[in-house]
């Protein structure tokens, strides 16, 4: 994973003498025989070792840059030509295209958050049709899993930055279900944004999925809610981190304090309150409701005396405002109009930047939600063209994804590189699997964790008619929300431990000790790794008494690929040394589940 | 420039891996965000690793009433029915229900003149853990993570920062995962997943790890090396912990019943005992939480119950550390996010009151048996020697021998001082 050094002004000021330090940064893993293949470096070459290639050229984007990019649909090969052009000066050779086996795994993970089934992999590899990759992309885009996977992405984008999660997971799930519907029915991104910004009404626990758009605003509360809503609207829909200007003029951009507070002004008359259930003593709160206040303006604390405030009526970053004394809904409708306006390139650019970043493992601006006229983007010509096409298509989300994934640029392999080296999009970056996808992979490998054990079953039995009624209601809610009635406690724990903020720079996302401990030692997981009993491994070992076949099956189930010859050799050595076939295979399965690759999209 | 980085692992080409650099060295001063080159250059191993200082923070979540803890005003209207008891130190009294603390008063210093502006739980808790008010753009690290980064030895096989009994831990912020708190929910049990599963002994575990590393190589060679290396470092840390002979520090069942009784057979009491065991084994910072201090109603009865739990834990901890010769190198902090109103409300409760509250400190070179500052007779104001949160944090730094003005670099590239402003309360040190 490279250390991206050019996207801030600060990094550009690195003096030449720091090149010496750069080479200290430049290389190399302490692993015993890692390192680029086929490159032997004799000791005397150390002094002449070339510094890692410079990062890609970057540039500020002006209104004209965005404007002059055509809005016509992308032609086949157009993205590749643009990337190629930028690559010319570097003399970097693009990486080879992925093999079919590699491609179906990557594409299936990117589109559905799941590994492809072994049978599908075999079929895809055997298929002779030259258009099979495009067809695979189309097929996956048409499925429910696509909409669910990307709904979860947006859910995580929002929840990662909430100060607290009101209503717990239930309301976040409502959002996910609403977003699922939007993506499934091909709503334009402008419509999605508008629905979230102008949402109103109730978000109820007992009506999961209904009005899920309201979660975006309803999840903020208290006296800072307007500030938070403004900050998140700007971050998520414009890619502009304006909250840094909340207390003082933005340190590296040129946003002024007053601009932040004018943006908050759009939310000055929006309130949220809990929905009370006076009849229900046990659960007094039934959800959150968005309400409009009849009057009020946002107040910006003055710098000289924070107790004194200045009224800041709503005004957008371009200086336009909804006029005096606008109502809550008028304000937010106005805000939605400004944000999704044809002349607001940042709205479209922010979405393109994110999607490219997810698919390629690195975005044009990093971090993905830190863009703006005062930041620099790499490969600007690619970004502006993709953004133009996105706008021209009516903000067609699926088409953007399809265009990117059909390019050779997306379909290239990952390649070895130094830790600080930028790949210049001549290759794809491996990236961390999102939480739900990782859980899915675990279930895929070990079978469904869903069934409760004896103890849990006992607790699930209703002992009084009142309990039975409550459980029936809970069951109904769960089914309406398409959730399993019984959520495995390991799943909840796992997802909590492995969750991360998808908007962070990939380099800034780190694993934790408790994650590792969970995968390494958790007794429930360990039980399902056993070679004896009603487990997947037991079935595999029984069905495939030949080690080669058993190994291949395990690799296909966990990593969706065949093992390399070297991997087979290592495993067979291990099995021979172990003496006990069952135990050895348990260890192999453990090693696969704990491997980096299991958690990586490559 | 690079000569000063003596302790950094270099390969035969003389160059260093960023990740190994960060893990092996800069559990420290470097900060784990984007490292400025100036900061990198300034690193000197000897200066960084202050030998052996440790810290135990006892956090009273909810805001403990100063009038029912260490600043009683018996016989006054605001003092309520609470009486005061003498302590081992002539002239210092504490509220009733704190006999263990009273006995240990020779080693405990009280700051009765704490004052802050934050009266809201989430913000105040954040401030009393990080020294900073919450801000959208910077995730400030908890004092625990700061201590871990500054004081933790890089090759230590347990986590440097352990949090016991809290469901809402303030973490390492921009300092990153290697100084993130390791969370123990229940002190009386071994932490989750830290023990090897059935049928897997240390040898088999080692074989599994070796196999995993072996099988990773093809993926690493084809372009996954950065991720593989990070993964390997993390697995290295976790497995060191799992295989550590010091892991038994987490097993308090090894303590004599009499000792466990002295601390109190409560989650908090046993948490204090666990904290002592961890610090004994070399863990840098342990936080133990007691929840329930937000006594808006029924203050007196509730504080009596809470004191019944916290007093034996706190008092025994100080005495135990002293007896084991650990008190000099272990700073013990007792505090909550604010205090409570002197005026008793209609529900026999007290509400939030950051204007004048108290903190207790012991060990770490703090002069015990002293009181810093005073509140007015009606407890409404600080009368003498106000101590603000930055002052308190500078005091922590002085005790732990950390430079409060040192800057770390946040993930946004901003230089952030360990403490912004403030001055240590010098009267607390000899």
pLDDT digit string, tens, across residues A376-396:
999 999 999 999 999 999 999
Instruction: Indicate the range of A414-428, B30-44, B301-315 predicted with least confidence.
Output: B30-44
Segment A142-150 mean pLDDT: 97
Note whether A512 contacts B217, CB cutoff 8 Å: no
Residue of B195, B223, B414 with shortest CB distance to A414: B223
Does pLDDT of A583 surpass 70? Answer: yes
What is the predicted pLDDT for the residue at A484? 56
Does pLDDT of A558 surpass 80? Answer: yes
Report which DSSP code applies to A378. Answer: E
Q: Which residue of A has its CA nearest to B21?
A: A25
What is the predicted pLDDT for the residue at A163? 73
Q: Which residue of A has its CA nearest to B204?
A: A587
Largest CA distance in chain A: 83
| C-alpha span between B39 and B22 (Å, rounded) | 13
What strands lie across the sheet with A285-292, from one edge to the other?
Answer: A201-204, A285-292, A270-276
Task: Identify the CA nearest to A369 among candidates A236, A568, A462.
Answer: A236
Comparing A18 with B428, the larger pLDDT belongs to B428
Comparing B135 with B240, the larger pLDDT belongs to B240
- Flag whether residue B181 sits within 8 Å of chain A, measured between CB atoms: no
Task: Please list the residues that pair with B108 across neighbouring strands.
Answer: B362
Does pLDDT of B71 surpass 90? Answer: yes
What is the predicted pLDDT for the residue at A348? 97
Note whether B227 contacts A430, CB cutoff 8 Å: yes
3-state SS, B88-140, equals CCCCCEEECCCHHHHHCHHHEEEEEEECCCCCCHHHHHHHHHHCCCCCCCCCC
C-alpha to C-alpha distances, B12 to A29, A256, A412, B224, nearest whole angstrom: 12, 50, 32, 22
Q: What is the pTM of this model?
A: 0.81
What is the predicted pLDDT for the residue at A79? 97
- The phi and psi torsions of A350 (rounded to 5 degrees) equal -65, -40
What is the predicted pLDDT for the residue at A18? 36
The size of the A-B interface in CB pairs under 8 A is 219
C-alpha to C-alpha distances, A505 to A1, A366, A432, A515, nearest whole angstrom: 10, 6, 11, 20
CA A333 to chain CA mean position, Å: 28
What H or E segment, with its residue span, contains residue B339?
Answer: strand B339-340
Note whether A602 contacts B224, CB cutoff 8 Å: yes
Note whether A592 contacts B226, CB cutoff 8 Å: no
What H or E segment, with its residue span, contains residue A290?
Answer: strand A285-292
What is the predicted pLDDT for the residue at B37? 40
- Flag whether residue B216 sits within 8 Å of chain A, measured between CB atoms: yes
Q: Which residue of B has its CA nearest to A417?
A: B223
| C-alpha span between B294 and B73 (Å, rounded) | 20
Note whether A34 contacts B220, CB cutoff 8 Å: yes
What H or E segment, with its residue span, contains residue B416?
Answer: strand B415-417
CB within 8 Å of A55: residues ≥ 6 apart: A2, A4, A5, A6, A378, A422
Does pLDDT of B340 surpass 70? Answer: yes
What is the predicted pLDDT for the residue at A324? 81
Comparing A165 with A271, the larger pLDDT belongs to A271
Is the domain spanning B53-190+251-429 CATH 3.40.140.10? The answer is no
Distance from the Cα of B211 to chain A's closest Cα (Å) equals: 7
| C-alpha span between B176 and B141 (Å, rounded) | 9
Residue of B17, B177, B213 with shortest CB distance to A512: B177
pLDDT confidence tier of residue B70, bands split at 50, 70 and 90: very high
* Overall size of chain B counted in residues: 430
Q: ipTM value of the model?
A: 0.83
Per-residue pLDDT tens digits for A86-139: 988 888 889 999 999 999 999 999 999 999 999 999 999 999 999 999 999 999
Q: Which residue of A has its CA nearest to B161?
A: A513
Per-residue pLDDT tens digits for A198-225: 999 999 888 888 999 999 999 998 888 9
What is the predicted pLDDT for the residue at A449? 76
Instruction: Tell me the HSE value of B384 on the side-chain side, using a 13 A CA sphere.
Output: 7
Task: Identify the CA nearest to A210 among candidates A183, A175, A165, A167.
Answer: A175
Segment A448-458 mean pLDDT: 62
Per-residue pLDDT tens digits for A50-91: 455 678 889 999 999 999 999 999 999 999 999 999 988 888
Secondary structure class of A79 (helix, strand, coil): helix
| C-alpha span between A367 and B230 (Å, rounded) | 20
What is the predicted pLDDT for the residue at A458? 58
Comparing A532 with A108, the larger pLDDT belongs to A108
What is the predicted pLDDT for the residue at B55? 98
Which residues in chain A have Cβ-Cβ distances shorter than 8 Å to B132? none
Distance from the Cα of A507 to chain B's closest Cα (Å) equals: 9
What is the predicted pLDDT for the residue at B316? 98
User: A-contacting residues of B 279-298, CB under 8 Å?
Assistant: none
Does pLDDT of B121 surpass 80? Answer: yes
What is the predicted pLDDT for the residue at A468? 74
Does pLDDT of A420 surpass 90? Answer: no
Q: Which residue of A has its CA nearest to B229?
A: A29
Q: Which residue of A has its CA nearest to B159?
A: A513
Distance from the Cα of A505 to chain B's closest Cα (Å) equals: 10
What is the predicted pLDDT for the residue at B13? 36
Distance from the Cα of A144 to chain B's closest Cα (Å) equals: 30
What is the predicted pLDDT for the residue at A103? 98
Which residues in chain B have Cβ-Cβ distances shorter than 8 Å to A96? none
Task: Identify the CA nearest to B92 among candidates B321, B367, B409.
Answer: B367
Note whether A31 contacts B228, CB cutoff 8 Å: yes
Task: Please list the residues that pair with B353 across neighbouring strands.
Answer: B339
| C-alpha span between B234 and B240 (Å, rounded) | 10
Task: Identify the CA nearest to A404 among candidates A129, A70, A141.
Answer: A141
Which residues in chain A have Cβ-Cβ distances shorter than 8 Å to B238? 513, 516-517, 520
Does pLDDT of B380 surpass 90? Answer: yes
- Flag whether residue B203 sits within 8 Å of chain A, measured between CB atoms: no
pLDDT confidence tier of residue A478, bands split at 50, 70 and 90: low
Average pLDDT, chain A: 85
Report which DSSP code applies to B224. Answer: I
Q: What is the dihedral of CA B26, B30, B35, B39, to 10 degrees?
A: -140
Distance from the Cα of A88 to chain B's closest Cα (Å) equals: 22
Task: Identify the CA nearest to B172 among candidates B202, B195, B139, B215.
Answer: B139
């Amino acid at each position: 994973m490279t250390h991206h050094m050019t996207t801030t002004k600060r990094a550009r000021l690195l003096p030449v003498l720091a090149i010496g330090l750069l080479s200290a940064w430049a290389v190399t893993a302490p692993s015993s025989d890692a390192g680029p293949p086929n490159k032997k470096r004799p000791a005397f070459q150390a002094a002449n070792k070339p510094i890692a290639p410079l990062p890609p050229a970057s540039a500020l984007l002006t209104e004209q840059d965005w404007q002059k990019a055509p809005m016509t649909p992308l032609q086949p090969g157009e993205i590749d030509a643009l990337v190629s052009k930028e690559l010319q000066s570097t003399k970097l050779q693009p990486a080879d295209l992925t093999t079919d086996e590699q491609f179906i795994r990557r594409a299936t993970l990117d589109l559905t958050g799941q590994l492809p089934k072994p049978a599908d992999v075999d079929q895809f590899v055997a298929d002779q049709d030259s258009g099979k990759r495009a067809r695979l992309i189309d097929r996956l885009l048409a499925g429910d899993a696509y909409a669910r996977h990307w709904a979860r992405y947006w859910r995580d984008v929002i929840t990662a930055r909430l100060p607290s999660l009101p209503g717990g997971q239930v309301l976040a799930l409502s959002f996910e279900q609403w977003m699922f519907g939007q993506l499934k029915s091909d709503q334009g991104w402008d419509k999605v944004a508008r629905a979230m910004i102008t949402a109103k009404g109730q978000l109820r626990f007992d009506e999961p999925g209904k009005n899920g758009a309201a979660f975006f605003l309803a999840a903020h509360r208290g006296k800072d809610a307007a500030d938070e809503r403004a900050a998140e609207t700007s971050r998520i829909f414009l890619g502009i981190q304006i909250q840094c200007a909340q207390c003082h003029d933005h340190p590296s951009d040129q946003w002024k304090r007053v601009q932040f507070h004018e943006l908050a002004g759009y939310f000055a008359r929006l309130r949220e309150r809990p929905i009370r259930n006076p009849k229900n003593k046990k659960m007094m709160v039934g959800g959150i409701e968005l309400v409009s206040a009849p009057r009020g303006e946002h107040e910006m604390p003055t710098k000289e005396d924070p107790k004194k405030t200045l009224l800041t009526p709503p005004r957008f970053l371009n200086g336009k405002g909804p006029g005096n004394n606008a109502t809550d809904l008028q304000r937010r409708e106005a805000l939605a109009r400004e944000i999704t306006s044809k002349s607001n390139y940042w709205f479209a650019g922010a979405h393109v930047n994110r999607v490219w970043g997810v698919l390629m493992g690195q975005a044009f601006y990093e971090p993905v939600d830190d863009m703006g006229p005062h930041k620099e983007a790499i490969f600007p010509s690619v970004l502006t063209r993709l953004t133009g096409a996105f706008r021209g298509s009516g903000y067609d989300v699926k088409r953007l994804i399809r265009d990117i994934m059909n390019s050779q640029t997306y379909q290239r392999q990952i390649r070895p590189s130094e830790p600080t080296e930028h790949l210049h999009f001549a290759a794809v970056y491996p990236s961390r699997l999102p939480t739900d996808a990782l859980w899915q992979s675990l279930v895929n490998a070990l079978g469904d964790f869903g069934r409760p054990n004896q103890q849990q079953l006992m607790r699930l039995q209703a002992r009084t008619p009142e309990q039975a009624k409550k459980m029936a209601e809970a069951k109904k809610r769960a089914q309406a929300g398409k959730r399993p009635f019984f959520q495995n406690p390991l799943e909840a724990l796992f997802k909590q431990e492995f969750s991360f903020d998808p908007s962070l720079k990939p380099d800034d996302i780190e694993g934790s000790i408790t994650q590792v401990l969970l995968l390494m030692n958790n007794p429930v997981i360990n039980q399902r790794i056993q070679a004896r009993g009603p487990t997947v491994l037991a079935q595999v070992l029984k069905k495939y008494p030949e080690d080669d076949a058993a190994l291949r099956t395990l690799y296909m189930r966990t990593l969706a690929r065949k093992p390399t010859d070297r991997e087979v050799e290592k495993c067979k050595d291990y099995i021979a040394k172990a003496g006990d076939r069952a135990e050895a295979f348990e260890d192999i399965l453990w090693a696969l589940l704990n491997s980096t690759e299991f958690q990586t999209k490559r | 420039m690079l000569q000063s980085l003596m302790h950094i692992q270099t390969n035969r080409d003389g160059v260093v891996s960023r990740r190994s650099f960060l893990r092996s060295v800069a559990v420290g001063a470097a900060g784990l965000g984007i490292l400025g080159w100036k900061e990198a250059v300034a690193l000197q191993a000897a200066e960084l690793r202050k030998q052996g200082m440790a810290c135990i923070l006892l956090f009273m979540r909810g805001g403990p009433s100063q009038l029912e803890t260490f600043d009683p005003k018996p016989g006054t209207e605001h003092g309520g029915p609470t009486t005061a008891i003498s302590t081992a130190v002539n002239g210092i009294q504490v509220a009733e229900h704190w006999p263990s603390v009273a006995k240990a008063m020779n080693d405990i210093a009280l700051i009765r003149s704490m004052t802050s502006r934050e009266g809201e739980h989430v913000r105040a808790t954040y401030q009393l853990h990080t020294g900073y008010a919450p801000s959208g753009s910077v995730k400030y690290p908890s004092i625990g993570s700061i201590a871990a980064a500054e004081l933790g030895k890089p090759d230590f096989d347990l986590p440097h920062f352990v949090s016991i009994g809290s469901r809402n831990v303030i973490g390492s912020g921009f300092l990153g995962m290697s100084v993130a708190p390791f969370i123990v929910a229940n002190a009386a049990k071994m932490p989750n997943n830290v023990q090897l599963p059935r049928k897997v002994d240390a040898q088999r575990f080692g074989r599994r790890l070796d196999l995993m590393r072996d099988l990773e190589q093809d993926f690493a060679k084809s372009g996954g090396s950065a991720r593989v290396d990070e993964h390997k470092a993390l697995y290295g840390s976790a497995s060191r912990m799992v295989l550590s002979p010091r892991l038994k520090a987490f097993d308090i069942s090894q303590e004599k019943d009499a000792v466990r009784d002295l601390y109190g057979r409560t989650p908090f009491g046993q948490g204090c005992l666990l904290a002592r065991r961890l610090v004994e084994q070399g863990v840098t910072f342990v936080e133990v939480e007691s929840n329930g201090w937000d006594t808006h109603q029924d203050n007196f009865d509730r504080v009596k119950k809470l004191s019944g739990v916290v007093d034996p834990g706190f008092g025994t901890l100080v005495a135990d550390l002293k007896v084991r010769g650990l008190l000099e190198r272990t700073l013990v902090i007792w505090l909550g996010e604010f205090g409570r109103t002197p005026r008793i409300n209609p529900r026999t409760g007290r509400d939030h009151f950051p204007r004048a509250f108290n903190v207790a400190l012991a060990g770490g070179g703090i002069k015990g048996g002293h009181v810093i500052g005073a509140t007015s007779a009606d407890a409404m104001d600080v009368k003498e020697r106000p101590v603000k949160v930055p002052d308190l944090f500078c005091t922590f730094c002085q005790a732990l021998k950390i430079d409060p003005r040192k800057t770390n670099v946040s993930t946004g590239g901003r230089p952030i001082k360990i403490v912004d402003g403030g001055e240590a309360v010098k009267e607390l040190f000899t």
